[in-house]
Amino acid sequence: MKKNLIQPVSISIAAILFLIAITACSKKGEAGKTKPVETRLKVTTYNVHFFQAGYEPVKKTINDIKPDVIALQEVLLVQGRNYAANLSKDLSYHHISSTPYVSYDNIKWVLSFLSIYPIKKWSETRLGEYRRALQITIDCGGKEVNLVTMHLTPFTWSDKNLLQANRNMAMLRKREINDLLKWSGKPESAVILLGDFNSLPFMDELAPIVEAGYKNIIREIGNTVNGTFKLETWVKTAIKRNMPGFPVPDDIMLDYILVSDGVKPLSIETLESKSSDHLPLSAEVLITEKTDRRPD
C-alpha cells in the first residue's frame, strides 16, 4: 500500500518539474534569448521662463506632474542661487545644471535636470555661438538611459522685415542642431532628447535629428496635442498684419520630446499651467533592454 501511495506523488513532482523546465525555456525564446525587460518612465520638458511667475508656482507645477525626470530651460541663477537646486531639495530629486548660456548683468540662465534616479554621469557642450546642451545618464531600474536637453535660438521680432529676421534665426537653429548631432552622434543606446527647440512643426528643422535615428513622439504615436506656447493677442495681430493670409493659431508647438530605438513611446500631452509662458510637455515611455544569454 505504501508503494502505491508514493508512486503517484513521485509522478506529480516529476510532472511539475517538467512544466517548470518548459516554462523557463519558453521565456528564453529562440537561441537562448530572453524577452526584453521593460521599465516605464515619465519624462517632461518645461521652459520655466526664468521663474518670472515666481518660485512657488513652478514648484507646484512640477509637484503636480510628478515626473521621473524633468528637463528645465531658462532656470534662474542669481547671485549664486540656483533655483533648480532649491527645487531638487524641496521636491526630493537628484539634480544637475549646465554652465550659464544667457547672462543679463547678475542674472543668468542655465539648463537643469531633476531626476528621481541617481545621475551616474553628465556632460555639456556649446551649440552655435551661445546656446548649450546638457546630457545626463541615469540608472533606471538597472538600465542606463541618456537624456539630453537644450534651448535653441528663439524667434525674434522686427518692424522692418519680420520674415528675414526669423530666417536668420532659423539658420542659427540649424547650426545648433548640427552641433548637437556632432556631439551626441547617432544613438547606440536608449536616448531621449527633450527641450525647447523653438521650431514650428511645418518648418521641418528637426529633420536632421530624425534622420540621425530619433523619433518625434507626437508623430510616432499619431497624437494631437495642444501647443506649448500660447500667443498673446498683440502677437497674433502683428503676425496677421505682417503676413496676411497666414493662419494664426491660439498656441504653437515649440517644445519636443524625441526618442531613439530602445525607447517605446506610450503617450504624450501638453499640461496646463500658469507658472510660465511655456506649458510643460510630458510623455510616458518604456525603456526596453534585450539581454542575450548563452544556453546553459
Domain ranges of the chain: 1-32, 34-289
Report pLDDT for 244: 80
Residue 289: the pLDDT is: 63
Q: How far is CA 292 from the centre of its chain?
A: 28
User: What is the arithmetic mean of pLDDT over 147-172?
Assistant: 89
> CB burial class (10 A; 0-12, 13-18, 19+) of residue 92?
exposed
Whether pLDDT at 14 is above 60: no
SS3 92: coil
- pLDDT for 8 equals 47
d(CA 293, CA 49): 48
pLDDT at 36: 53
**How does DSSP classify residue 42?**
E
Residue that wins the pLDDT comparison between 289 and 117: 117
pLDDT at 153 over 90: yes
More confident residue, 232 or 58: 58
**CATH class of residue range 34-289:** alpha beta
Span 190-211, mean pLDDT?
Answer: 95
Contacts of 169 (CB under 8 A, 6+ apart): 153, 154, 155, 156, 198
